Amino acid sequence: MQLDAHEQQVVDVVDRVGWMVMRVFPDRDDQDPRWFAYTIGLAVTFGWPELICFGLDADVMQELLNNAVCELKGKGAPPSAGMELTEVMENFPARLQVFPKELFREHLGWAIWFAAHRGLAPAQFGCLQLWWPDKNGRFPADAGCDPEVRRCQSLLGRLQ
């Protein structure tokens, strides 16, 4: 099957690096106007869940996700829900949380495409959300977390 230019670019980057980060900019008509970013290729390259991040500048989210992958590779342990990462951000840890399966199609299109392109079954594909804390170090599920930090990282009006 012949790949289009964008598909080929995704394949080439993941083949060269092991993953890539897709930054998603909302359209004016989007019901959810938040920018987000997610990884492509972790499921294929490492057998890990993909990672997704919400609520920050696209360049910052790309850097955080890349930092998270590098830290996880250094740990030699697969990512899991509740895991804290200490090398993703300066001064604060980041935390991984379950990302709801019902939101995969809406948010992880290219990662799903790439996994299927490389022969992964849907059951072999997962995703964790990279949470970042407020300026006091509180995560969205923590009591006293800044409401705006909680809002921009919460999906479906709830915390995972």
At 71-127, the pLDDT tens digits run: 999 999 899 999 999 999 999 999 999 999 999 998 999 999 999 999 999 888 999
| Burial annotation 120-137 (CB, 10 A radius, 16+ → b, else e) | eeeeebbbbbbbbbbeee
Burial of 39 (0-12, 13-18, 19+ CB in 10 A): buried
User: Does residue 32 lie in a domain region?
Assistant: yes
Is a pLDDT exceeding 80 seen at residue 26? no
Confidence band, pLDDT 50/70/90 cuts, at residue 160: very low
Helices and strands, counts by H and E, the chain: 6, 6
pLDDT at 158 over 60: no
pLDDT at 157 over 80: no
Residue 61, domain member (yes or no): yes
In this prediction the pTM is: 0.92
Q: Which residues are registered as beta bridge partners of 46?
A: none
- pLDDT at res. 53: 97
Within-domain flag for 77: yes
**In total, how many domains does the chain have?**
1
Whether 159 is in a domain gets the answer no
- Dump strand ranges (E) for the chain: 20-24, 36-40, 50-54, 84-85, 94-98, 127-131
pLDDT band for 31, please (50, 70, 90 cuts). Answer: low
Flag whether 53 is in a domain.
yes
> Band of the pLDDT at 154, cuts 50, 70, 90?
confident
Domain containing 73 equals: 5-153
123 located within any domain: yes
pLDDT, the chain, mean: 91
Give the pLDDT mean for 45-52.
97
The verdict on residue 54 lying in a domain is yes
Q: What percent of the chain has pLDDT over 70?
A: 92
> Would residue 160 count as lying in a domain?
no
